[in-house]
Structure 1
Amino acid sequence: METALRHMADGLLLVDGDWRIFYANPAAERLFSVGDRRADTTVGLLLWEAAEGFRQKGELERHFRDVAERGEPNGIDVRRPSDGHWYHLRLVPVPDGMSVYVSDIDEARSQEAQASRTRHEAVQRAERIKNLTVALSGALTVQDVVSAVATRVLPPFRASGLTIGVLEESRANRVRVVGAVGYPDSFTAMVEAEPIPADSPVTDVLKEGVPLFIDTAEEHNLRYPHMAHRVHVSGKKSWAFLPLIASGRSIGACSISFSEARRLDDAERTLLMALSGLIAQALERARLHDADRDRATELQRGLLPRDLPALPAVTAAARYLPAGEAMDVGGDWYDVLPLSSGRVALVIGDVMGHGLTEAATMGRLRTAVRTLADLELAPDDLLVHLNDLVADLGEDLYATCLYAVYDPTDAVCTITTAGHPPPVLVDPSGTAHFVDLEPNSPLGVAEPPFETTRLHVPDGSLLVLYTDGLAETATRPMGQGMDLLKATLDEALAQVSSGDCPATDHDVPAPDPLLDRLCNRLTDALLSSPSDTTDDAALLVARPRSFKASDMAGWTLPEDPLAPGQARALIREQLAAWHLDDLVMPTELIVSELVTNAVRYGRGPIRLRLLRSDLLVCEVSDGSLTTPHVRRAAETDEGGRGLQLVTALSHRWGARYETEGKYVWTEQELPSAAVAG
């Protein structure tokens, strides 16, 4: 029993019926220095020092005696003037005596306060780790990681600067700074221009794999004197350099700096080390994400046209905008394809979904469109073939597409769409309106035939083609986006002066700066907030331009053997008027062969047409759908060499088919003097 009493944390005094102490445990002896006086000292006298200034002399003992007579326990707080401590006295009646428990309130309070602070700091550390973990879990890119660390780590530690560097193993272990916050521009420019020295805190941290804490600028300059100029420019006075270790290897280092000299305590250093592990894991994940995204974006951009062709009938500008950082690459594409007889195909499409698979599918569809366009298929027929291709690629694959063919000979644009948003036609007065198209279904689920719309496009008009990612965002429905698109066009074109619109009678196409400005204006207005961008977007703005009447000539020929001779005479006369005398002889031979074939193998009516642009186009049409093809004639054959001759004399030739028959066309390059003229 006595052993247990001796180990009590509180002081214990046992008194007899005369209030004389006959036992005091070590805690009581320590508190009151009872010593040898306990045999003849009453409780009232013993506690008088502790109660001085709190009760009058003898009042404390009388109070205790009254309590003892009632047989009730009672407690009271008293303050000891010699040390300023507060004690709690607990009087408990026992048979034939009293027991007095004494405890140091200040010590208990101090211990409780310390325990409370410890618990609070632990809660704070857990909260900071949780907040940083949440922030880093949503950080996809390296810049997201830098932003999350700057927001979640710097304020709690009252830090003012952050740099994160990654190790470039491919460049002799050089460190590249990928993010800096809280530094002047001059320091950032210095870091970007100069590599991190081989002898520096960052390289030492990477070598040793342990953190380095520098409390003052003087300490930094003493350890790394060659970096004193960086310290001066940075304006920092204290640093914590932390290794970033992921998968058992150092991938970089993180520097947290302070504007004043400061020594971090053990708890802060431990917390920073714990946070550095989270930062390292997030940084490694973000680097992989950035690398994958860069490869995917490069793949997608490689599948898009690098430069749009400069054509006599159409000038165009385009933009492709990838989705926000949280999204994968998508399947939007556009194209401008030169066709025969000066015609131009405008294409825009969107493979539904995001990812490398969709980007690769987009490349396949774009290649298919170019191949089908070379076959001179009508827009509705082309989409029929494209629909079959998409259906064969998978049941869960869908795509939208708009295919338009502009014919500069009559300024008519033939448009067919498969689930794609309607284009915008801006007339020469600057008024924009959406083209009313038949709502065909997307590719993959469409049921041909596709409805086709013929649209007259006067000179000076614009055609604006776009994907739904331009109009529709996370906060804006498709209808509102289309209204904003039209309003932006109206506003932009209302501010354009006549000098900004290039003339429409030049033979050689010239760059059109207005189209580029319109593309920038539309993308800035409709995709002003990258955080709202949930889909990639494509935009194509084209200015069609019809051929002048003086650059076209056409005739109807008789269906008899005299037709080739008449055709040659007409050719000589027209080329002389165009000052293309150098092309008279090859063109006569070409026309003679094509007209002869039309008379011999086709049926009427037979028509001959010449078109002059950057090339000389010669067309012969008839009412037959017979396909012309080059034959391999033997030495003894009297015929079969006509199309071989056409191939040799022309730059390019082919045939296209329409409902009323076929057109066989050739293209010849103009002499350099004629092009210059």
Structure 2
Amino acid sequence: MAGACLIGWDRPHDFGPDERALLTACAGLAGQALLRAHSFDAEHELVGMLQRTLLPRRLPRLPGAVAVARYLPTTAGLEVGGDWYDVIPLADHHVALVIGDVQGHNAGAATLMGQMRTALRAYATEGHPPDVVVAHANRLLLEMETDLFATCAYVDVDIEEGTAWCVRAGHLQPVLRHPDGTAEIVRAEGGPPLGVLGQAEFPMTPLRLLPGTVLALTTDGLVESPGTDIDAGMDRLAARLAAADPAHLGLVADALLTGAHRGDDVALLLMRYDGLAVRPLRESWTVWRVPEAVRHARRFTRRTLRAWGISQDTMDAALLVVSELVTNALVHTDGQVRLDMSLVNHRLRLAVADASPRSPVKPTSIGWEATGGRGILLVEAVSAAWGTLPVSGGKQVWADLVPDG
């Protein structure tokens, strides 16, 4: 039973055969309509939950930049599609901005969107350059043997230097709003959509960002509508972005979405580049595999930290960390070893990169007879924090110290 319908008269009424047949048929049609409505509501809630789960719940806070995003589902059908966006913090004050669109408007497109977003995030955090990240995603989509394809724009921004590399896979061009109020549609080179060609190339286009620059990435639902050329839509987006106040990025995003045609999904990602208030101090040293390699690394560390004005107590801890990390890299890995040091916001980071992807394991307990395993425990004891990052097929083991004063 889907429900009950009561029909009443002011006085006693006898139902004839025709009335009974009519009322029975109406009740059956009404019951079917109610069941279909309940089924549609349940399916609508399911796909809406799927969409919300696959998109980021919140964007990360970025040093030297602010990012906001908006997503509007289509008003047609189940209101679920393949548009997505992501903001991925990377090492050394880099951040990856990603926006994409999977073909179709159904649960299959949304599921594939989630897989592509996860894959791009994984490839990016492994430390690959932008063109390699997109190429890996293209290969993955081809191996999934789906009939769907996807477009994507990937921008790797160096917050410290104010530079960026843009890679497009069949997607719309980025739009830049410069600090002087002018807007520019970036003519970035592009490759084919993901999942189309196995040997596709995805060229990188350099971008220059001055403090106050706003970078806008969007999907075609915002700039394309029936009877309107997509180039005209991009010009309109650039003009509206130029007229907006970049100080309130959330209001800018809302204004850009005003009047958007809802026949397609719309994803919008904005980032305002402000630049770092204090530029980090950085130095690097290539560790050669010679008998006195650790002593050379310690001497380089001591000379650099003295130039930076680091106290003796912090320097002693830093020398211990460098000795342990460099020794572990030389003993347990092959290939090149590099020591990187940086000082930013009163935090000293010491990092040693090698060619092995295997991370060091902290022992749970060490007996008096053990000959190894104490190095990581010593690093943990003298550091404020430590960890590992994947870097282009290898890893980087880092430790942070907080200098006195």
Could you say what secondary structure the match of 1:341 adopts?
A: coil
What code does the residue aligned with 1:552 have? L
Check if 1:211 corresponds to 2:7: yes
Give 2:396's match in structure 1, choosing from 664, 673, 676.
Answer: 664
Q: How far, CA to CA, are the matches of 1:319 and 1:450 in structure 2? A: 27
How many residues were matched structurally?
386
User: For residues 286-297 of structure 1, what are the structure 2 equivalents within 5 Å?
Assistant: 286-297=37-48
Aligned to 2:282: 553
Aligned to 1:567: 300
**Superposed CA offset, 1:431-458 (max 9, x none):** 1111222121011013333211221212
Displacement, 1:654? 2.2
**Superposed CA offset, 1:183-203 (max 9, x none):** xxxxxxxxxxxxxxxxxxxxx
The gaps in structure 1 that reach 5 residues or longer are 1-165, 168-205, 215-269, 502-513
| Distance verdict in 2 for CA 1:551–1:574, change over 3 Å | farther
Q: How far, CA to CA, are the matches of 1:435 and 1:629 in structure 2? A: 40
Q: How far, CA to CA, are the matches of 1:639 and 1:306 in structure 2? A: 43
Give 1:464's match in structure 2, choosing from 207, 216, 220.
Answer: 216
Displacement, 1:519? 0.7
Aligned to 2:137: 386
Q: Is the 8 Å Cα contact of residues 617 and 668 (structure 1) preserved in structure 2?
A: yes
Q: Is the 8 Å Cα contact of residues 101 and 150 (structure 2) preserved in structure 1?
A: yes
Give 1:473's match in structure 2, choosing from 225, 233, 237.
Answer: 225
| Distance verdict in 2 for CA 1:646–1:535, change over 3 Å | farther
Check if 1:630 corresponds to 2:365: no
| Distance verdict in 2 for CA 1:641–1:423, change over 3 Å | farther
**Superposed CA offset, 1:465-502 (max 9, x none):** 1111121123433222211111111122xxx3xxx73x
Aligned to 2:350: 618
Aligned to 2:14: none
| Distance verdict in 2 for CA 1:611–1:475, change over 3 Å | farther
Aligned to 2:322: 591
What code does the residue aligned with 2:387 have? R
Could you say what secondary structure the match of 2:92 adopts?
A: helix
Q: How far, CA to CA, are the matches of 1:288 and 1:483 in structure 2? A: 42
Aligned to 1:312: 63
Q: How far, CA to CA, are the matches of 1:415 and 1:442 in structure 2? A: 15
Aligned to 1:363: 114
Q: Is the 8 Å Cα contact of residues 565 and 592 (structure 1) preserved in structure 2?
A: yes
Q: How far, CA to CA, are the matches of 2:72 and 2:346 in structure 1? A: 33
TM-score of the two chains, using structure 1 as the length reference:
0.50
**Superposed CA offset, 1:551-596 (max 9, x none):** 323255785534222233246436755x8x8865544333333455
Q: How far, CA to CA, are the matches of 1:614 and 1:537 in structure 2? A: 42
Give 1:435's match in structure 2, choosing from 181, 186, 205.
Answer: 186
**Superposed CA offset, 1:47-77 (max 9, x none):** xxxxxxxxxxxxxxxxxxxxxxxxxxxxxxx
Could you say what secondary structure the match of 1:429 adopts?
A: coil
Displacement, 1:597? 6.2
The gaps in structure 2 that reach 5 residues or longer are 11-20
Q: Is the 8 Å Cα contact of residues 85 and 99 (structure 2) preserved in structure 1?
A: yes
Could you say what secondary structure the match of 1:651 adopts?
A: strand
| Distance verdict in 2 for CA 1:614–1:383, change over 3 Å | farther
Displacement, 1:344? 1.0
Q: Is the 8 Å Cα contact of residues 351 and 399 (structure 2) preserved in structure 1?
A: no
Could you say what secondary structure the match of 2:156 adopts?
A: strand
TM-score of the two chains, using structure 2 as the length reference:
0.80
Aligned to 1:652: 387
What code does the residue aligned with 2:231 have? G
User: For residues 141-540 of structure 1, what are the structure 2 equivalents within 5 Å?
Assistant: 206=4, 209-212=5-8, 281-446=32-197, 447-492=199-244, 496=245, 501=247, 514-525=248-259, 527=260, 532-540=261-269
Could you say what secondary structure the match of 1:428 adopts?
A: coil
Displacement, 1:336? 0.9
Higher helix share: 1
Q: How far, CA to CA, are the matches of 1:593 and 1:412 in structure 2? A: 34
**What is the identity percentage for the equivalent residue pairs of Structure 1 and Structure 2?**
35
Q: How far, CA to CA, are the matches of 2:89 and 2:314 in structure 1? A: 23
